[in-house]
Amino acid sequence: MDTALIYGAYGYTGSLIVDEAVARGGSPVVAGRDGERLRDVATEHELESRVFDLERGRAIERALDGIDVVCNCAGPFVETAAPLVEACLETGTDYLDITGEFQVFDRLADEDERAIAAGVTVLPGVGFDVVPTDCLAVMLADRVPGATELTLAIASTSSVSRGTAKTMVESLGSGGVVRRRGRLVQVPTAYDVREIDFGERVGVTPAVTVPWGDIVTAAHSTGIETISVYAGVSKRAIRALRAGGSLESIAGTAPVKSTLERLIDATVDGPDGRELTQDRAVVWGEVTDGKTRLRGRLETPNPYALTVETATSAIERTLDDDVPAGFQTPATAFGPEFILECSAVDRWIDEPMAVPS
């Protein structure tokens, strides 16, 4: 029987994915570096546990003995993805994670040839980042062959987990990034703002550029070489982001990051049960070939609730050998309709419009 291992199984999102996997009849191996916290998860569900950190490659490889698929839920993924992927390539184990960090996607895309040679699937981003955006990008690009520019945007009021908050702290001081003509280009924090119509639930909202993973994954999925990603936020938040941009050299220092991480440990838990079941998010997209413009959007459950569903489904499908080897994105692995297989996801695709000359 094929076996999945969930690393970071006691974190906020990891524990929810374990719950869902068990509820679907699975028996994943739970893993992480904190033996005491791991023991609680394993005991609750009567699962096998494996305690290991990511400092020693050989130890990771031994811990993957008998494992067919790893789902990494331990961030910041810029620190955890590379050693786990390296061990997966050595042991022939498929790799999944729930990252949204563009640096991780960019790094793992470079492992495509090695992964194909090893017969290993490398599929990061099987959560809210980047399943709905990746699938929407392909849906739109397929309808405008030859599209040269893609814009994506996300609006959500959900609170964040401790792991997500720490990943955000880790990125302080790095500014923003967009894709221009096939290259990742550094830009200032919140360098561009535009009004985006997110539909009835959110309405027309200001949105600001953010360096999310789609600047890498959507290029891989669609072939489009100019990509920007926006987040819907308040005007007050935009002013704060721009003001904070001038302080990034300070915010990115080790003492400041350490202080913020301690504050996160003391104050951040993650979305509560009401948020998980009631909150919604909207993903918006636009493609153009210079002559035609096409827009669409998806409305989804709470980002963490969606992550639990998409990640668990991705684990199941990868265990079924339903994914090609090599570097994949959710849309290239499962097709753009993958997001529509999830519960309570609605889609709208507008009629194509001519671009004013």
SS3 percent helix, strand, coil of the chain, rounded to 5, is 45, 25, 30
Q: Tokens in use for 7? A: 């690393």
Taking the C-alpha atoms of residue 84 and residue 93, their distance in angstroms, rounded to an integer, is 10
Angle at 229 between CA 325 and CA 353, to 5 degrees: 100
Strands (E) in the chain, as ranges, are 4-7, 29-32, 49-51, 69-72, 94-97, 121-123, 149-156, 176-180, 183-187, 193-197, 204-209, 226-232, 280-288, 292-301, 326-327, 346-349, 353-354
Half-sphere exposure of 66 (CA within 13 A, CB side): 7
Beta pairing class for 326-327 and 204-209: unpaired
Taking the C-alpha atoms of residue 331 and residue 285, their distance in angstroms, rounded to an integer, is 15
Nearest one of 267, 296, 300 to 165, comparing CA atoms: 267
DSSP 350: P
Which residues of the chain, if any, have pLDDT below 50?
159-173, 246-268
Name the CA radius of gyration of the chain, rounded: 20
Contact 149, 123 (CB under 8 A): no
Q: Tokens in use for 103? A: 């640096």
Nearest one of 306, 314, 260, 259 to 282, comparing CA atoms: 306
Q: Tokens 């070489």 — which residue?
A: 225
pTM: 0.90
Q: Tokens 């709470």 — which residue?
A: 302
Dihedral sign for Cα atoms in the order 52, 326, 323, 227:
positive
* 160 cis-preceded (ω within 30 degrees of 0): no
Nearest one of 303, 299, 305 to 345, comparing CA atoms: 299
Task: Count CB neighbours of 288 within 10 A.
Answer: 21
